[in-house]
Chains A and B, each alone.
Chain A
Amino acid sequence: MIHSLFLVNSSGDIFLEKHWKSVVSRSVCDYFFEAQERASEPENVPPVIPTPHHYLISVLRHRIYFVAVIQSEVPPLFVIEFLHRVVDTFQDYFGVCTEAAIKDNVVVVYELLEEMLDNGFPLATESNILKELIKPPTILRTVVNTITGSTNVGEQLPTGQLSVVPWRRTGVKYTNNEAYFDVVEEIDAIIDKSGSTITAEIQGVIDACVKLSGMPDLTLSFMNPRLLDDVSFHPCVRFKRWEAERILSFIPPDGNFRLLSYHVSSQNLVAIPVYVKHNITFREGSSQGRFELTLGPKQTMGKAVESVLVSSQLPRGVLNVNLNPSQGTYTFDPVTKLLSWDVGKINPQKLPSLKGSMSLQAGASKPDENPTINIQFKIQQMAISGLKVNRLDMYGEKYKPFKGIKYMTKAGKFQVRT
């Protein structure tokens, strides 16, 4: 299926290549570079590019293009999903997935790619299995390896691939047995000029960090499972049990994993935790424009709105801005015309505001378009949908684990049109 893989950095250099079948010359990437030139923005490069003899399917993550070379029919999503899995694995192994990290760990990268695909068909993509095969590099291990000459490759033969629960490695042992779950919800919203909500929905995930010895069998139940409208599971979750009882029952992988992602049914009204008052005007004939922005909290159930970041792409005609923030700092890039304002925490007593003027190109007519305002924020200890975990039980092991759950609400794609 996947013939070869090329890693291309933002300046257009191929810094890694791997072939699973016969070697494909790297000149095939020229077609990719052509498409890259044609696209105005990096994210506008088409994910699938046909060439006379091959097809190039690429994903862009961390400013690296992962370009897979395909020779015949294959579902494009199959390749795209796999490439993203590769990136996730690199991130899992090296902490970051940058060009430098990949170059520094080129041997581990090669070993990983070798295990992940066999003849272009995915073989081992579960992080638990891979970690048994190839140990992730840590500073300590690198030091030890250089001194003792031992290796990154697992000495033991991996058994995970043979077991009925391929996602969990065997023989896990911890002195402190703990299981943490993070319920993270994101609000996607479009707010129109007048402040009314055009569309708003809540997407959530439950990320788990499970460090439990042996083969624990967990069940997680919710106070209000009806809220979950559409769910997708980690393969470890028993689907039948969820269908019948709305209980998550699973043997967890070891370590970090995403247990569940869900969508909250759209019938429920979505509480919008912040509001924006804005006044962005350009006057005809003058080279000045007014810019006024005030943020305020609403429907936050008493919780503080933190890490607020406002960004807006101003019209091309804006040369510079002269603004005065009541709190936080703002930056304006005159080249990309991107205004961003790091607000911090919203104090309900003293609402943060950003006011001032914009200078426009002299003589140019006033811009037609109005900028949209993107907002990011976080609210700790609250799931905006009201989802609550009821209890977590463990079966199959004797010890008593430490359990923890955390809720958080974030802005997803939160946009205010002006």
Chain B
Amino acid sequence: TKTPRPWSIFGYFELDIELHEMLDSNKDSLKLEAMKRIVAMIARGKNASDLFPAVVKNVACKNIEVKKLVYVYLVRYAEEQQDLALLSISTFQRGLKDPNQLIRASALRVLSSIRVTIIVPIMMLAIKEAASDMSPYVRKTAAHAIPKLYSLDPDQKDQLIEVIEKLLADKTTLVAGSVVMAFEEVCPERIDLIHKNYRKLCNLLIDVEEWGQVVIINMLTRYARTQFLNPNESLLEEGGEKTFYGSDEEEGKEDKVEAAALVVKRKPYVMDPDHRLLLRNTKPLLQSRNAAVVMAVAQLYFHLAPKAEVGVIAKALVRLMRSHSEVQYVVLQNVATMTIKRRGMFEPYLKSFYIRSTDPTQIKVLKLEVLTNLANETNISTILREFQTYIKSMDKDFVAATIQAIGRCATNIGEVRDTCLNGLVQLLSNRDELVVAESVVVIKKLLQMQPEKHSDIIKHMAKLTDNIQVPMARASILWLIGEYCEHVPKIAPDVLRKMAKSFTNEEDIVKLQILNLAAKLYLTNSKQTKLLTQYVLNLAKYDQNYDIRDRARFIRQLIVPTDKSGALSKYAKKLFLALKPAPVLESPFKDRDHFQLGSLSHLLNAKAGGYQELPDWPESAPDPSVRNVEVKYPTSREKRKEKKVEKPFYSDSEGESGPTESPVNSSPDSDTGSGSGSGSDSGSEDSGSESGSEESEGESDSEKDEKDKRKSGKKKAKKTAPEMKKWRIYVSFCVALLLKCSFPSPQAASPTCGPLKTYELLHRITGEGLAVTYCFSRRPFTGDPHMVSVQIQFTNNTEVEARSLRVLEPKLQSGMRIAEFPEIDVLPPGEISTVHGLFNKLINCFSFTPFFVTIQPPVGELMMPIFMTENEFKKEQGELGTRQAPVFMGLAAKVLANLSRVPCGSAMECRFAGKTVTSGSLVLVTVVTKEERAAQVTVNCEKMLIGTMLVKDILQALSQ
């Protein structure tokens, strides 16, 4: 029942005739049989090109399998038989017009695979047409055809780029991977084509097929390197700021002003939301089953993510180590490079790199490299214990690598140097010569670091010259003895004597070292060794190797003073016995990361053809708005709702509860205190895992019920609260936009808003258990002078974890800006979490899914304190308009507005100065206390509106 193998039955000639007959027959089954035999020939690498005319005739055969096999044949031989191949073109041209998309696609696929230059225009036309085909599958095929045509005729580049540009705009996942592939092969330098498609590609990524994912991620890594700022450089600066804040706990306002100024100067780093989007959308792909995808994400994180976030990739990479040994090999190479820069990341997985006797040697050596890179003071004892086991291995290459590794650990970690050295000296009595030789080489390097302490080791090694034959080891020993001949004054001449005896039989490197030793001994101990040295030099003079002859001549001139020898011989001792720097034993993987990780070039440590350099981060970020895409609202109805959302501030504010309801606190300076502890963040994670296990015991059914309840609860809430209802459509709209928001990493901060006024954003009843409050921390948070920081505190009052709390597209009025809020991944029951954000104008509405809330800052929070003297104050006051109102009960206006107090002579008067954040206009407040608990408040501000509102607020507060 098996296809007979033609090559075993027929000679070529017979075979040809029979195949011709079969191909010409009317029966499809005979044709098929013939084609199968021909394909089998091709597969074996036999030439079947003679049959070309007979085969091509069948290109229009009805039988699908025959047709497919003819295609296989055609693509293989068309290049050799260009003229005949043209006969088949019309069949494909007809196929391109077929109503069935799959036939169109397959026609294009074969047509574009035929490498015949004459048909380039036909191919170009076909690709252009297919690129605007209705079917995404045909468009995908068009994308595949682009690099084929490009390799056939590079002159078509410009036209092809147009097609690529068009296909890049395609919104289907099917096309995305293929077109980026085409982009990479044809025009990887045209990064500008990506701008408009960047966000779309990020969002589609998870649904693209796995091979496309790899290509897109690699391309986006390069893109991000050109468009965003280095997140790690500024991290360092941030660290500096933190300590700054920590130190000024008790200081007054002056410091605060200074700090603000400093911050402005540094212009701290805020991650571009698009940068964040990329990081967030690639992270789930670490869970891919495809090792190439995981590696692609890992390299993306390594090259693009802030230091604190890179750690997530370690676990996934360690998982890949379970895979096939080829995968392990590549992953380990990359891990080795990573461990040099980011050792901490892999430290928890140290044991995963332990070596098994069944690992192939190349894997063992790489694991050893990783273990060595991971070694530090805390784990070195465990690692050395492992190494001890490895030294007993039967795989001698591996043992040699282990000895090298021990040497490197010893040089890097001072504490264990002596231990390692002792261990290596013990190995000198090993039976295997390779082991001994390797140990000698490593010991030599170690001894160079502190020779005076180890003359007994040098003595021991001198004895080895009798037995050890490995040239490198002999050379090392001789060099050691020569270098430290003063430490072994008695042995050294004896060694030279022995060596002189065996000189002629030694390898070249050993001979060179014998000469070296002789020269050094001659200089230090010429009495004993003069004759020996002469003898050795004479032997070398007639050596076969010119290197050795040269060296002998050179040394003789230097050390043996004759009348001809120049001034140099005076310095011979200095030349030979200069203090040599100890060698640095470093990883071969050092600095490999200038190649993009995961690439072929990185693996080979050499630039492969077509490798695109990973660009350095730009100094300043290019305009991010190039990535903006006009959002088209899907329906007019939603658009209308949209308009409703953007209510003017004033109408909205009237309905809101005034800020004065919450208790007034009078400790104005507390905001600078306590800094930003990280406690809350890590704490919440811990309790998250605990509560989760509780939850899992209850499990499915009850949980489902609860969820249903919650769902219905949500509906009810929406019905009862008219406001909520209004937002419902809006919320669904926001969900679509959800992917477009991105946030910087959650910055942990302890809730320091205690003394500050907190405002309620979402009551825990309406929020279905999630309560949200906010307060204005009055901290120059990122230093953007036109922004005010707000601290939002989430409290989870439910029994379950809340997940993915984030701000959806905030609705802002023109001129408003808002910095991104970090997303809270998990909020376990009963936990409190805090995020910080920034905004700059009078009012901001933004919605937290699925709740729409409004943050309405009291006017006083939109100011920042400035420092001025009483005189300046009065001078400025004269120039500004005044809002006044008499009040009862004075003091503590500060709690309402973020102003700084102006020193003032009178005890009855309090003055405050500040400016608005957006426009920087001056705001001056004077509170004059009068008799009978009455007071007069004066606000001077060029902005009438702000002045009026501030007076109103102060009055309201004071009157309570």
Contact = CB atoms under 8 A, between A and B. Distances in A.
Interface string A67-85: 0001111111110111010
A195 to B, nearest CB: 15
B32 A111 contact: no
Contacts of B295: 75, 77
Given A26-B45, A72-B609, A119-B148, A107 B287 contact: no
9 contacts: A60-B325, A77-B331, A106-B43, A110-B72, A139-B1, A198-B354, A203-B322, A224-B696, A374-B357
A73 to B, nearest CB: 4
Interface in B88-119: 100-103, 109, 112-113, 115
B609 A390 contact: no
Contacts of B206: 239
A226 B700 contact: no
A294 B287 CA distance: 41
B101 A40 contact: no
A15 interface: yes
Given A153-B68, A199-B354, A417-B389, A72 B608 contact: yes
Contacts of A146: 1
Interface in A305-327: 313, 315-316
A133 to B, nearest CB: 9
The list of the 3 closest CB pairs from A to B, nearest first, reads A72-B610, A149-B29, A151-B65
From A72, A119, A154, A162, residue with most partner B Cβ within 10 Å: A119
Interface stretch (B467-475, B552-560, B593-601, B779-787): B593-601
Interface string B56-78: 00000001110011011000100
Interface string B123-143: 000000000000111000100
Contact of B39 (A61, A107, A188): A107
A9 interface: no
Contacts of B354: 190, 198-199
A368 B399 CA distance: 12
B706 interface: no
Contact of A368 (B68, B352, B392, B699): B392
Nearest to A199: B351
A26 B46 CA distance: 11
B211 A391 contact: no
Interface stretch (A41-49, A90-98, A209-217, A275-283): A41-49
A110 B39 contact: yes
Contacts of B178: 121
Interface of A is mostly: mixed
Interface of B: 1-3, 5, 27-29, 32, 36, 39-40, 42-45, 63-65, 68-69, 71-72, 76, 79, 100-103, 109, 112-113, 115, 135-137, 141, 144-145, 147-148, 151, 178, 181, 206, 209-211, 214, 218, 284, 287-292, 294-296, 315-316, 319, 322, 324-327, 329-331, 351-352, 354, 356-358, 360-362, 386, 389, 392-394, 397, 430-432, 598-601, 603-604, 606, 608-612, 689, 692-693, 696, 699-700, 803-804
A75 B608 contact: no
Given A47-B326, A80-B324, A110-B72, 4 more contacts: A21-B151, A59-B324, A225-B696, A415-B358
A75 B325 contact: no
B308 to A, nearest CB: 20
A81 B291 contact: yes
A415 B357 contact: yes
A237 to B, nearest CB: 9
B394 A316 contact: yes
Given A146-B1, A199-B352, A415-B358, A76 B211 contact: no
B319 A44 contact: no
From A43, A73, A123, A239, residue with most partner B Cβ within 10 Å: A73
Contacts of A201: 352
Nearest to A40: B361
Contacts of B601: 73
A389 to B, nearest CB: 11
A321 to B, nearest CB: 17
Nearest to B145: A119
A244 B113 CA distance: 46
A44 B144 contact: no
A235 interface: yes
Interface in A176-230: 188, 190, 192, 198-199, 201, 203, 221-226, 229-230
A230 B315 CA distance: 7
Contact of A149 (B28, B113, B603): B28
Contacts of B324: 59, 61, 80, 84
Interface in A381-418: 390-391, 413, 415, 417
B598 to A, nearest CB: 5
A300 interface: no
B137 A121 contact: no
A31 B841 CA distance: 68
Contacts of A246: 696
Contact of B325 (A43, A78, A114, A415): A43
Interface string A105-145: 01101110010001101110100000000000001001100
A365 interface: yes
A103 to B, nearest CB: 8
**Contact count band on A:** 35 or more
Interface of A: 1, 14-19, 21-23, 26, 40-41, 43-44, 46-48, 50, 55, 58-61, 70-78, 80-82, 84, 103-104, 106-107, 109-111, 114, 118-119, 121-123, 125, 139, 142-143, 146, 149, 151-155, 157-158, 161-162, 166, 188, 190, 192, 198-199, 201, 203, 221-226, 229-235, 239, 243-244, 246, 258, 261, 263, 313, 315-316, 365, 368-372, 374, 390-391, 413, 415, 417
A118 B287 contact: no
Contact of A119 (B36, B113, B608): B113
A43 B43 CA distance: 26
A369 B600 contact: no
A118 B322 contact: no
Contacts of A109: 43
Contacts of A82: 211, 292
A75 B296 contact: yes
Given A73-B609, A77-B327, A153-B65, A261 B289 contact: yes
Contacts of B43: 16-18, 106, 109-110
B214 A14 contact: no
Given A78-B292, A232-B319, A107 B611 contact: no
Nearest to B217: A75
A75 B324 CA distance: 16
A370 B388 CA distance: 12
Contact of A118 (B144, B210, B351): B144
A415 B600 CA distance: 33
A230 B284 contact: no
B599 A75 contact: yes
Nearest to A26: B45
Nearest to B296: A75
A75 B326 CA distance: 13
A246 B360 CA distance: 37
B1 to A, nearest CB: 5
A371 B362 CA distance: 20
Contacts of A44: 360-362
Contacts of A142: 1-2
B356 A190 contact: yes
Contacts of A55: 600, 604, 608
Contacts of B29: 149
A292 B937 CA distance: 98
Nearest to B286: A232
Nearest to A364: B431
A315 B76 contact: no
A1 to B, nearest CB: 8
A17 B612 contact: no
B184 to A, nearest CB: 9
A23 B76 contact: yes
A149 B22 CA distance: 14
Contacts of A75: 214, 218, 292, 295-296, 598-600
